[in-house]
Amino acid sequence: MDIRSYVLGKAMDAKEGARAIARVSSEGKNNALRQMAEALRRKRRELQRANKKDIEFAKGKGLSGALIDRLTLTDKRIEEMAKGLEEIAALPDPVGEVTKMWKRPNGMMVGRMRVPIGVIGIIYESRPNVTADATALCLKAGNAVILRGGSEAINSNRAIVRVLRDVARANGIHEGVVTFIDIPEREAIMEMLKLEGLIDLIIPRGGEGLIRTVTENSRIPVLKHYKGVCHIFVDRDADLRMAEDVCFNAKVQRPGTCNAMETMLVDEKIARRFLPGMIRRFRSAGVELKGCARTRRIDRHVAPAKEEDYYNEYLDKILNIKIVKGIDEAIAHIERYGSAHTDSIITKDYSKAMRFLKEVDSSSVFVNVSTRLSDGFQYGLGAEMGISTDKIHARGPMGLEELTCTKFIVIGNGQLRE
């Protein structure tokens, strides 16, 4: 098969879908989403039959248990997918919202109106639930989606897509609105990434390797984050009890997530008071600690941290501890080793809190809050399409608004240029 023309055909289909969905009313989109949820529930057995093929294949290939777990469409996961679609149906429609409007001296009104982006390409790995989640978010924001999931989930994804497209068609919406790249070759990704003009935006979701490949090869704008090397800086003016609770939560509550803390920076002025209790608490939770030389003078059982450890996203119960001279060194450390994901300061000092908020150049900057709260749902966005650490279009968790842009509208009564 000619992969280039296959992908091109798919993208043209998606473009037709984008034209169609852009004009569907909020009610029409919400009805379709709710029917998609119902259809996923109804076709549960069919989805699980397809899913079984993927699982057997994965087992045959000797893939890890964790991967097979991620791949598996249990009853609970299918119900969660369906509920997810219903929740997105219940959110306000961003399209058509006029975010601002003002009057000019000549009497004309100038405003910004939210409009869909067009065709959004999602490139992801093994979780088949992304197929439904990402589709629902794109559709709700008036966009078509072109999906390229991991080859190990291709049967599951195909089955989910069939359900979603059937509902679209039954609602009179062009099926191209949910377009699926149904071939496993990696070359298909490369072909997708060349189709600027047909695909308007690419969102890769998965490990750093996938994301780097996408970013380095794309001629289409990409929104992404590579990894989450999140910091908490415990300032000398912190409430140390709060600091302990927040740092513990940020490391231990769910260490495998991108918003978990990877390095704790401690002001030298309070290190001797703060660290012993904190270290005891981390140890009691089985956290492996690596520290700078000064930390190890306070607790010699802490392993030495190497330079490269500070760049690491452990995604595990491992933590770097570094003692710093104060806020300047903390900010410099974050700038150097951080990933612009989420960084927090614990302090009671107003001016340092404000400085940290202003000067730390990350996509989410916190005062006295656990980094684990960096998330579209926690922020109240109602949904999350991933997190961007870029500086164009979106920075931080992306919700429905980030899947739109705003055009200008001008309403007048005969205004001319003088």
The residues of the shown chain that bind its own copies, judged by CB under 8 A, are 22-23, 96, 102, 104, 108, 110, 113, 115, 117-118, 196, 200-201, 215-216, 219, 221, 239, 242, 245-246, 249, 253-254, 353, 357-359, 361-370, 372-374, 378-380, 391-397, 405-417
- For its own copies, give the closer residue by CB, 253 or 351: 253
Q: Left, alpha or beta for 386 (phi > 0: left; psi -120 to 50: alpha)?
A: left
Distances (CA, A) of 382 to 87, 264, 315, 414, 417: 8, 30, 25, 41, 43
Minimum CB–partner distance for residue 329 and its own copies (Å): 16
Minimum CB–partner distance for residue 265 and its own copies (Å): 18
Rounded Cα gap, residues 122 and 132, in angstroms: 11
Give the containing element (helix H, strand E) for 342.
strand 342-346
Counting every residue, how long is the chain?
418
Rounded Cα gap, residues 272 and 407, in angstroms: 55
Rounded Cα gap, residues 22 and 225, in angstroms: 28
Give the containing element (helix H, strand E) for 41.
helix 26-42
- For its own copies, give the closer residue by CB, 68 or 367: 367
CA atoms within 13 A on the CB side of 320: 28
Minimum CB–partner distance for residue 167 and its own copies (Å): 24
Q: Torsions phi, psi of 406, nearest 5?
A: -120, 135
Residue corresponding to tokens 């999140």: 230
Minimum CB–partner distance for residue 308 and its own copies (Å): 19
Minimum CB–partner distance for residue 160 and its own copies (Å): 27
Minimum CB–partner distance for residue 138 and its own copies (Å): 13
Query: Closest Cα partner for 382 from 105, 37, 141?
Result: 141
Distances (CA, A) of 338 to 28, 261, 412: 43, 11, 49
Minimum CB–partner distance for residue 337 and its own copies (Å): 16
The answer to whether 177 and 145 are in contact (CB under 8 A) is yes
- For its own copies, give the closer residue by CB, 210 or 367: 367
- For its own copies, give the closer residue by CB, 129 or 406: 406
Q: Left, alpha or beta for 324 (phi > 0: left; psi -120 to 50: alpha)?
A: beta
- For its own copies, give the closer residue by CB, 271 or 369: 369
- For its own copies, give the closer residue by CB, 175 or 375: 375
- For its own copies, give the closer residue by CB, 101 or 170: 101
Residue corresponding to tokens 């078509």: 144
- For its own copies, give the closer residue by CB, 37 or 247: 247
Minimum CB–partner distance for residue 116 and its own copies (Å): 8
